[in-house]
Structure 1
């Protein structure tokens, strides 16, 4: 069932997390929506701070583990039910955030948000629906595409964000943004052209997931502008919505088959998989307070490179020199996009 930037209250679109990272990333993520809330009206509890040299490698490790673990379940354990797995992750996260709310200070940011019925219907519900679609489509892509190829395609996410922003006149195109769009698009095209095991269905699913995710991030910028929601608070609101939406979709997509196949994975795998996905969001809360935007961007790039390398070792994914060249171009555009604030 995303995908970490340290920005000001007015958050540029590139500072928000990708849903596929959240799930693969559940939110990833690499991805964070808004800076953690600072200051409380009443005397706040002292916040726990984990040093950067500990939390950055920890976040990278958990993020990589989530994606490889999901791929392992889909492929090696022969459990090809992404809607069920995403629904389970979201249900687990919805319960976990409420437990944390009662036992820790990690979800205290929810107290600062006035969540009226009207705001929930106009903002949380449609954004949650896009989040759900992004997670499901992204996980469907893992059924037929390699982890390495999907990570390369995810680099196109900033381009989708910019194109939607141009369409809604949130941002005006300029020479720098056009150069970024051209670099990332060219790199992704080369990576796709160099893929040895190209599957059209998986490619379409991943492209649709990128479109859903970009639309979600733009809607967050429009509808939730000014609200301060860290990854745990966001999950607190979105996880129940997404879990219910997915549960309604499940009978029409996978039916009862996932329940008949649960013996292939077992309870230990199900719970550990959901717990690791949720732990990624907890790690993200600590991550956003320890480094500058540039450091977190470079950490994200390094994480993607390690993930691609890990997929080659773990699943025998094959990558070509053309894909490496194309992805290098995309990374250059991605770093430009994030370090310039998407402007």
Structure 2
């Protein structure tokens, strides 16, 4: 039901001035008041505006903190889940395949719900476009996730977290290659800080494992390709994959196909002869294994959705900054819960690496200042523009100030 528009004047106080300062709830109340009921002098109106603006600011801060914590639950949770599961279930590639299957099913259900809610059909790519445009991104994503999960058989959470944080170097490198980033001299400082921090963190580490370290480093390298290709994929307006749910739906089948041969080669025979699944003697252990694997798939889907929710309701800068503190929380929890041992040199290396990542985030915020990146218009073949829903926050706030935001609750599904 559309709310009535606010008239310009009520007595001596203009309603238009109220609209520019109050949220839609107050505007909705004001429109139902008669001129006699709305007797506000200028001083009382100013105080009311100040209090309501402060309350609105507090609500936004609480919402942002809640979204960040929601993201932390899935991001940190899946890291510790993978490490915990690998202690008794030594089939990381099979686990990844199960997760991909669950993510695909949940994405399909979400797409169906979105289609029923909006009444508009979801995008479905042709086979030719699917194999040419989506396949490279799917293969890179499958190898990134597969190698990352595989490494938990060999290394600690601390070493994994630290090594995985270097993915920003490879993302930066491939962003320059694909001309998604503009080069600047400060990038050299960022690279030196992150690389130096990684060296200090792994220097004389008592729990260092070369095989696992190489796996994570290779996963970070492939992750740079993965996220760069994902950005290109989601910004191609003619594909219509701006919504991450649609992207996940199209990526999972090819990811499964790309990872399946590696699984057969490394884990096929051992899994068939394992008592964890196929040679299980009783039903309860089998149900327990299936339940734990399904929980990981739900965590993986929740991680992708929480990232989307955080970016769409705040900004990509908020996600980057919260990611820095997430690394700190992960290492502290790993030392506390998992007993990971870190020396003073390791902690100093971690601090140096975080300073490099923080500098990179700060530089991106500085160079993007003045550029309208909150709403990116993507040209389509028919000449129309498509909005990138992940980056709508800034423009959305201005629309709330000017018009009724009756579709705000449905924005996340559109």
How many aligned positions are there? 292
Q: Which residue of 2 aligns with 1:257?
A: 270
> Equivalent of 1:195, from 189, 205, 214?
205
- 1:275 is aligned, of 298, 321, 333, to 298
Corresponding residue number in structure 2 for 1:71: 83
Alpha carbons of structure 1 residues 152 and 105: separation in structure 2 relative to 1, 3 Å = farther
CA contact (8 A) 1:160 1:210 kept: yes
SS of alignment partner, residue 115 of structure 1? coil
Tell me the equivalent position of 1:338.
361
Q: Which residue of 124, 139, 147 maps to 1:137? A: 147
Q: Which digits, 9 at most, give the CA deviation of each residue in 1:58-87, with x for residues without a partner?
A: 111121111101110001xx2111100000
Cα offset, 1:285, TM superposition: 2.6
CA distance in 2, matches of 1:160, 1:169: 14
Aligned to 1:286: 309
The aligned counterpart of 1:235 is: 248
Deviation of residue 55 (structure 1)? 1.9
Cα distance between partner residues in 1 of 2:253 and 2:117:
15
Q: Is residue 155–residue 188 contact of structure 1 (8 Å, CA) maintained in 2?
A: no
- Deviation, 1:311, is 1.5
Are 2:168 and 2:357, in contact at CA under 8 Å, matched by a contact in 1? yes
Rounded to whole Å, the distance in 1 between the matches of 2:174 and 2:154 is 28
Q: Which residue of 60, 64, 69 corresponds with 1:57? A: 69
Match of 1:115 in 2: 125
Query: What is the alpha-carbon distance in structure 2 between the residues aligned to residue 122 and residue 105 of structure 1?
Result: 26
The Cα offsets for residues 161-218 of structure 1, whole Å up to 9 and x where unpaired, read as 2333445665564311111111111111111114221111101101110111111223
Question: Partners of 2:360 and 2:253 in 1: how far apart?
Answer: 32
- Shift of residue 271 of structure 1? 1.8
The within-5 A match list for 1:146-165 is 146-165=156-175
Question: CA shift at 1:112, angstroms?
Answer: 6.7
What is the match of residue 378 of structure 2? none
Aligned: 1:325 with 2:342? no
Q: Tell me which of 289, 306, 313 is aligned to 2:329.
A: 306
Are 1:134 and 1:212, in contact at CA under 8 Å, matched by a contact in 2? yes
Residues 268/114 of structure 1: CA separation in 2 closer, same or farther (3 Å cut):
closer
For the Cα contact (< 8 Å) 1:101–1:107, is it kept in 2? no
* Corresponding residue for residue 136 of structure 2: 126
Which contiguous aligned blocks of 4+ residues in structure 1 show a shift greater than 6 angstroms? none
| Contact 1:186–1:330 (CA under 8 A) maintained in structure 2 | yes
Check the 8 A contact 1:184/1:333 in 2, yes or no: yes
In structure 2, list runs of 5 or more residues that go unmatched: 1-61, 278-284, 368-414
Decide which moves more: 145-154 or 293-302: 293-302
Q: Report the equivalent of 1:179.
A: 189
Q: Against the structure 1 CA distance between its residues 270 and 169, is the aligned structure 2 distance closer, same or farther, given a 3 Å change threshold? A: closer
CA distance in 2: counterparts of 1:138 and 1:66, whole angstroms: 12
Q: How far apart, in 2, do the equivalents of 1:168 and 1:59 lie?
A: 29
In the alignment, the residues of structure 2 paired with residue 80 and residue 114 of structure 1 have an alpha-carbon distance, to the nearest angstrom, of: 36
Q: Which residue in the other structure is 1:205 paired with?
A: 215
State yes or no: 1:102 paired with 2:112. Answer: yes
Task: Quote how far apart the aligned CAs of 1:333 are.
Answer: 1.2
Q: In structure 1, what is the Cα distance between the partners aligned to 2:100 and 2:70?
A: 22
**Deviation string for 1:297-320 (max 9, x for gaps)?**
221111111111111222211111
TM-score, normalisation: structure 2: 0.64
Separation in 2, partners of 1:253, 1:213: 22
Question: Given the superposition, is the C-alpha separation of residues 243 and 114 from structure 1 closer, same or farther in structure 2, using an over 3 Å criterion?
Answer: closer
C-alpha separation in 1, matches of 2:328 and 2:121: 38
